[in-house]
Structure 1
């Protein structure tokens, strides 16, 4: 069911207040200011597809700004992906500024301040997804945020048209189909981040390349209960001690990375409405957790709630029209 918000029938003197509330409801808390003295008009259509909030925004010139104060009041960190369907936008985040032209995309992180400027009437498709569900390192995500992405080649050539079609048809998909489409979007976005961050990593030392291979190995073998530093070191023909040294600059130990990635995949799977018939234990076991009690404790520590509470809250959120 689509959520449609428009200023069409709102009195002129109340349009900016209504629009600000509509933006907060669909794109998250933002400060909206007009660029022109005339009453601001706009229209937002928003839908839920699994983990995703998919919104299409059409409006007059304006500025949308997310501040530290607004971030502190938000409950969930999200990654945003915007496709510029009409007009242009300027994004500032992390000290970087980029101009996004028609058909280009831009990735941003709602956990850090940013500003979007739209100097002309515009139309955009915006996809928000939980940061935890994306499953890419922060170091790689930061290389991609705040940079205009051309749809001319690579993964972007697949993702851009796909997102445009998805935004135009998001209201017509059954929940089970929406869950699968959401998974496809997250996989494509994670692949895009990998592709765009790769040139920077390629210029790194051999150490950086080895860290990347280890991360890929961990992701491929999460379901193996035997996955541990010893197994990883043997597969890469290095010592366990050297493996731990490799990750000293990564901000996470190898064991914690394995657990974090397993929890992310469990959280992602438990949140899919089409998988509610599966037991929590079955999901945990599929991703390498052999001890249900240990899994529940680790999940609660990471997510602030039990696996069952997480699944119930995500299902209820998916059935709601509010973000």
Structure 2
């Protein structure tokens, strides 16, 4: 993974807008950009290059983007852009029709078509640029897809949004060579989202199906880990698959579902034990919060994983000791 960072405060006032505009040209198709704040433009943006697929978390003041016929003739990278507002709204005009995209909605833009985008307030979001050749799109399907206001709160849209947010948040944890793996996951998730909405599900390969299902399972575990009854059987039932197939999906990753559930619980409990804000919360309460069947079960699992008792770990972190 290759990362570039832009912060307007690092640039002379008179150069801020032009520098940001140049950065935008590196992460998306060429655009005409303008802003009423261009005299002292404020923005921050990162470019995460995942083997030719670009993820770009960004925050900027109100701005207008235009992808014109002239710019398309000059340069067309033949790519799809997915913009996901986190805070603020995108107003997108295609063929004279305007659509608004609020937080956690996915806006699809085709680099080969004219478009106007504007924001009226400070915008926080994340973008993804990916070559169309990598996606299951044929004929006029991209045009059809652009008409959707896709949800980033449920289904494959939620998985894609969560994945991109996590990549942006944990960028420092990855090595440069991890970009290829992360790019493959991004392609699989976006492909699944596309085929789901266009009804072309047979295009996705079996391997892609398994990777996407694995991500859905991990997300389900994180969201339900506080439930003491969360077991491999419950996870399999929630995804309408057998327990044996569930284990098969994770076999190559060297972890069982039970171990994954335990790992997520222990990580959460570890954070709580080290959090000074929770110093008055008992270890029993923390154990219950993370779905352990009993205090003794938690203590044994914690010691087996970290070589130290929860109480001693809490004291080691300087938070104080509360067991009951």
Alignment TM-score, normalising by the size of structure 2? 0.58
> Which entry has the higher C-alpha Rg, 1 or 2?
2
Contact 2:76 2:111 in 1 (8 A): no
Instruction: Identify the residue that residue 107 of structure 1 maps to in structure 2.
Output: 108
How many residues align? The count is: 205
Q: In structure 2, what is the Cα distance between the partners aligned to 1:138 and 1:6?
A: 40
Partner of 2:119: 118
Cα–Cα, structure 1 residues 138 and 44, in superposed 2: closer, same or farther, change >3 Å?
farther
Classify 1:49/1:8 alpha carbon distance in 2 versus 1 (closer, same or farther; 3 Å).
Answer: same
**Structure 1 segment 1-323 matched on structure 2, within 5 A:** 1-36=2-37, 39-74=40-75, 76-198=77-199, 216=202
- Bigger Cα displacement from structure 2, 36-45 vs 121-130: 36-45
How far residue 37 of structure 1 moved from its aligned partner, in angstroms, is: 6.9
Unaligned runs of 5+ in 2: 207-324
Maintained 8 Å contact 1:5/1:43: yes
Distance 1:220 1:62, change over 3 A: closer
Aligned to 1:225: none
Structure 1 pair 31–111 and aligned structure 2 pair: CA distance change class (3 A): same
- Corresponding position of 2:235: none
In 2, Cα distance between equivalents of 1:73 and 1:37: 25
Q: Distance in 2 between matches of 1:144 and 1:64?
A: 20
Spell out structure 1 runs of 4+ moving beyond 4 A: none
How far does residue 38 in structure 1 lie from its aligned partner after superposition?
Answer: 5.3
CA RMSD of aligned residues (A): 2.4
Query: Secondary structure of the equivalent of 2:170?
Result: helix
Cα distance in 2 for partners of 1:95, 1:173 equals 42
Q: Is the 8 A contact 2:92 2:98 kept in 1?
A: yes
Indicate how the Cα distance of structure 1 residues 9 and 157 shifts in structure 2: closer, same or farther if over 3 A, else same. Answer: closer
Quote the offset at 1:101 in angstroms.
Answer: 0.8
* SS, match of residue 168 in structure 2: helix
Give the 3-state SS of the residue equivalent to 1:2 in structure 2.
strand
Are the counterparts in 1 of residues 69 and 113 from structure 2 also a CA contact under 8 Å?
A: yes
What's the secondary structure of 1:8's corresponding residue? helix
Shift of 1:60: 0.5
- Contact 1:108 1:146 survives alignment (8 Å): no
Point out the more displaced range, 25-34 or 79-88. 25-34
Alpha carbons of structure 1 residues 177 and 59: separation in structure 2 relative to 1, 3 Å: same
Specify whether residues 171 and 73 from structure 1 end up closer, same or farther in structure 2 by C-alpha distance, changes over 3 A only. Answer: farther
For structure 1, list consecutive stretches of 5 or more residues without a partner in the other structure: 199-211, 222-323
Q: 2:121 is paired with a residue of what secondary structure?
A: coil
1:112-171 per-position Cα deviation (integer Å, ceiling 9, x unaligned): 111111110011111101111113224322222143222233221222212211222345
Pairwise CA distance, 1:62: 0.7
Inter-partner Cα distance in structure 2 for 1:49 and 1:13: 32
Hey, what's the Cα distance between the residues in 2 that align with 1:104 and 1:4? 25
Match of 2:220 in 1: none
Residue by residue over 1:175-232, the C-alpha shift from the partner in whole angstroms, topping out at 9 and shown as x without a partner, is 442212211111111111111123xxxxxxxxxxxxx69xx48x769xxxxxxxxxxx
- Deviation at 1:95? 4.2
- With normalisation by structure 1, the TM-score equals 0.58
CA contact (8 A) 1:35 1:63 kept: no
Superimposed CA distance per residue, residues 227-283 of structure 1 (whole angstroms, 9 cap, x where no aligned partner): xxxxxxxxxxxxxxxxxxxxxxxxxxxxxxxxxxxxxxxxxxxxxxxxxxxxxxxxx
Residue range with higher mean Cα deviation, 46-55 or 33-42: 33-42
